[in-house]
Amino acid sequence: MHHSNSSNGGNPINNISIVWFRRDLRVEDNPALAAGVRAGYVVPVFIWAPEEEVHYYPGRVSRWWLCQSLRHLDSSLRSLGTSLITKRSFDTASTLLDLLNSTGATSLFFNHLYDPLSLVRDHRIKELLTARGFTVHSLNADLLYEPWEVTDKNGCPFSFFAPFWNKCLSMPYDPAAPLLPPKRIKSGDISRCPSDTLVFEDESERGSNALLARAWSPGWQNADKALSSFINGPLIDYSVNRKKADGTTTSLLSPHLHFGELSVRKVFHLARIKQLVWANEGNEAGEESVNLFLKSIGLREYSRYLSFHHPCSHERPLLSHLRLFPWVVDESYFKAWRQGRTGYPLVDAGMREIWATGWLHNCIRVVVSSFFVKVLQLPWRWGMKYFWDTLLDADLESDALGWQYISGTLPDGREFDRIDNPQFEGYKFDPDGEYVRRWLPELARLPTEWIHHPWDAPESVLQAAGIELGSNYPLPIIEISTAKERLEEALTEMWQIEAASRAAMENGTEEGLGDSSDSQYIDYPIETNMEVDLEHTRTNNIQATTRRYLDQTVPSITSSLVRIEEEEISVDIDIHEEDSRAEVPINVNIDAQLHEGTDTNSTILHFTPSRVEFSEESSSSFTERGLVPVWSPSSTSTPSEHFFTQETSRGHC
């Protein structure tokens, strides 16, 4: 994107710019803020419009974190000479337009987001404001490299993580160095745009939220301290300790990264510097720890990369064959999983931790989500939505990547027919049973020998530990052997339907079953209370379950974010890494309209098939790959054109 001077001739003395904060709540290495400061006077703004997120309204713990982080940001801005304007809105675009008019600002600066709703919303905002004569600048503050910069030798996006990350690590130019905080910010006139009081919690949530403050310290300066502590402490043993569920063995930086309190470029640079030091010292274990830690950063990058190139990844599997998997629609299973009453201690401990703290170790996330999809065979988007509602670091792009990986719906995801036994996983990640004992006090007196499979313990051992299976701790909700048989049957049925559909299409007798997005949705259960039933039965009988022969959908950002006729988002099952990659929609024009009304299920963001040409300064551009957001460079630009000059910015454009 090329920058143009604002309407007053580009004189920094008279320029007033709005800097729109979103998930970039920091003053350090914030390209939008730095660019606004260079341009002249600045009005920092945060707009709270959760209704625009539709079904992905932030959960309680996420809202608590946001509230604390905004206070921290405002304090930092005040120390630099300005303050944060907060606005409650139901239409971000119109609120921004009002702020531009009331402050006399001529420019808007903001940093990129990559979730599908933000891609559409940013496009709409840029077109609206550009048409009104305002200059809009958007920059990269969230990634090492923009999604369109990382391609294979043919200029196509990657469909596998390993080659994607290898390309990132071997790019001909390094990620931009982190920017220092501004020394001073000249504040624009805010007398005509007073802040709204934002309410992030109600009375019923305050008690639970108060407990979060004991364990977490939101805010960009606290994030910086947490990063320094990790880099100079646990990182060196990360390769050894990262899979231990009990204790602080990971960086705990993901909430800070999600809210943009921490720059991923700073994380990358500090980790690489530490790696060079250890390499010079011959510390191979330290080098390996950095490689593994940076791989986790790479997975975060890849989640945004997939969201950019496949904007339906939060709703549809990237491998098309699983659209016909017969998911089990059983709300009693879902409730037992949420409440941590499945009868499998490691799973139950994880689910109780996530409810109590809003946090879960990555290895335990894999365990509970794999159990959800493979053992219970519940629709994976139910689990993804629950994680969104309960995690402090709830992140649509990362959660979609994780759940698609577990469900085997990524080209390089886990095999769908692989079931990990929670008993064996327990002794792998919690060998001494301390994690289970912490979160399942009813099992606290059970010897380690039986802690991960109490159903096998002798009756005398159970009595000595005060455990009555089926009463104060449930029996397994389903036997693993039974789950394996059910999974094999479901997969066989799926392949039979797939084969019949293909045969019918080849014979021309019918059009086939089509994409699952055209099918009836499997609705997300409305009742998600966490109260535990007072009456427990001695046995957990497997009730008759309902299967749906379609790919499921829970309430999502849209009823269907993209519905383009004659376009197939999913990848064919016979995929090869070298030559078969999922395609993004092509020849598309965005017409993003949020329909008014009380029925949020009817909200659709429309993509109408047509080809539209734009000038360089327009707020939209399209490439041969398909839809590219408004802030992407043209397909003919060179890597050097993706950056600001030294005089304007060191962030990506």
Q: Could you tell me which residue, 355 or 409, shows the higher pLDDT? A: 355
Q: Measured between alpha carbons, how far is 328 from 309 in angstroms, rounded to an integer?
A: 30
Q: Which residue has the higher pLDDT, 127 or 243?
A: 127
Nearest-CA neighbor of 416 among 513, 302, 544, 551? 551
Q: How confident is the model at residue 14 (pLDDT cuts 50, 70, 90)?
A: low
Q: What pLDDT, on a 0 to 100 scale, did the predictor assign at position 346?
A: 97
User: Is 592 flagged in the annotation as binding?
Assistant: no
From 275-284, 547-556, 600-609, the region with the lowest mean pLDDT? 600-609
Compute the average pLDDT of residues 556-575.
31
The whole-angstrom separation of Cα 57 and Cα 49 is 9
The answer to whether the beta carbons of residues 85 and 98 sit under 8 Å apart is no
Q: Is the pLDDT of residue 187 over 70?
A: yes
Q: Is 250 annotated as a binding residue?
A: yes
Least confident span in 12-21, 49-58, 394-403, 518-527: 518-527
Mean pLDDT of 620-635: 36
Compute the C-alpha angle 634/639/640, nearest 5°.
105
247 vs 585, residue with greater confidence: 247
For residues 370, 375, 381, 386, the Cα torsion angle rounded to the nearest 10 degrees is -70
- Residue 621: per-residue pLDDT: 29
What is the bridge-based pairing of β-strands 588-591 and 546-549? Answer: unpaired
Segment 519-523 shows an average pLDDT of 54
Q: What is the predicted pLDDT for the residue at 46?
A: 98
What was the pLDDT predicted at 210?
Answer: 86
Mean pLDDT for the stretch of residues 564-576 = 31
- State the angle between helix axes of 380-390 and 345-357 in degrees (0 to 180), rounded to the nearest 10: 40
Q: Please tell me whether residue 395 adopts helix, strand or coil conformation.
A: coil
324 is in an annotated binding site: no
Directed axis angle between helix 362-370 and helix 380-390, to 10°?
140
Given this model, what pLDDT does residue 416 score? 81
Is 254 marked as a binding-site residue?
Answer: yes
- Residues above pLDDT 70, as percent of the chain: 75
Is 238 annotated to bind ligand? yes
Q: Beta-strand (E) ranges in 518-579?
A: 546-549
Contacts of 105 (CB under 8 A, 6+ apart): 16, 17, 18, 43, 99, 134, 188
* Beta bridge partner(s), residue 547: 328
Give the integer Cα–Cα distance in Å for 474 and 566: 49
Contact indicator for 347, 367 with CB cutoff of 8 Å: yes
C-alpha–C-alpha distance, residues 164 and 150, integer Å: 7
- What rounded mean pLDDT belongs to the chain? 79
Q: Residue 430 annotated as binding?
A: no
Q: Tell how many helices (H) and how many strands (E) occur in the chain.
A: 20, 11
- The C-alpha atoms of residue 499 and residue 292 are separated, in whole angstroms, by 41
- Residue 319's nearest CA partner among 417, 399, 419, 407 is 407
Looking at per-residue pLDDT, the higher value among 502 and 362 belongs to 362
- Average pLDDT for residues 583-596, to the nearest whole number? 34
> Given this model, what pLDDT does residue 53 score?
86
Q: What sign has the CA pseudo-torsion 467, 473, 475, 478?
A: negative
334-373 as b/e: b if 16+ CB within 10 A = bbbbbbbbbbbbbbbbbbbbbbebbbbbbbbbbbbbbbbb
Taking the C-alpha atoms of residue 384 and residue 404, their distance in angstroms, rounded to an integer, is 9
Residue 409 predicted with pLDDT over 60: yes
pLDDT for residue 501: 79
**Range in 331-345, 446-460, 614-628 the model is least confident about:** 614-628
Residue 277 has pLDDT above 80, yes or no: yes
Q: In the predicted model, is pLDDT for residue 613 greater than 70?
A: no
- Give the count of beta carbons closer than 10 Å to the beta carbon of residue 581: 20
Per-residue pLDDT reduced to its tens digit, 362-386: 999 999 999 999 999 999 889 999 9
Reply yes or no on whether the pLDDT at 162 is more than 60: yes
- pLDDT tens string 65-115: 999 999 999 999 999 999 999 999 999 999 999 999 999 999 999 999 999
Q: Is 246 annotated as a binding residue?
A: no
Q: Is the pLDDT of residue 606 over 60?
A: no
Q: Does residue 225 carry a pLDDT above 60?
A: yes
Residue 622 marked ligand-binding: no
What is the structure's pLDDT at 517?
37
| Average pLDDT of span 579-593 | 33
Task: State the amino acid at position 562 in one-letter form.
Answer: V
Q: Smallest Cα–Cα separation from 339: which of 379, 397, 390, 296?
A: 390
Q: What is the mean pLDDT of residues 263-290?
A: 96
Query: Residue 650's pLDDT band (boundaries 50, 70, 90)?
Result: very low
Annotated ligand binding at 332? The verdict is no
Provide the pLDDT confidence category of residue 34 given band limits of 50, 70 and 90.
very high
Mean pLDDT of 249-257: 92
Domains and CATH numbers, the chain: 321-549 (1.10.579.10)
Predicted pLDDT at 527: 54
- In the predicted structure, residue 539 carries a pLDDT above the cut 90: no
User: Would you state the pLDDT for residue 533?
Assistant: 38
Q: Which of 22-31, 48-57, 475-484 has the lowest mean pLDDT?
A: 48-57
* Statement: residue 603 has pLDDT above 60: no
Give residue 564's pLDDT band: very low, low, confident or very high (50, 70, 90): very low
Task: Identify the residue with better confidence: 551 or 397.
Answer: 397
Of 115, 170, 144, nearest to 651 by C-alpha is 144
Q: How far is the C-alpha of 584 from the C-alpha of 578, rounded, in Å?
A: 17
The reply to whether 636 sits in an annotated binding site is no
Burial 257-289 (b: 16+ CB within 10 A, else e): bbbbbbbbbbbbbbbeebbeebeeeebeebbeb
CB atoms within 10 A of CB 136: 24
At 230, give phi and psi (nearest 5°). -70, -45
pLDDT at 510 over 60: no
Average pLDDT for 401-418: 84
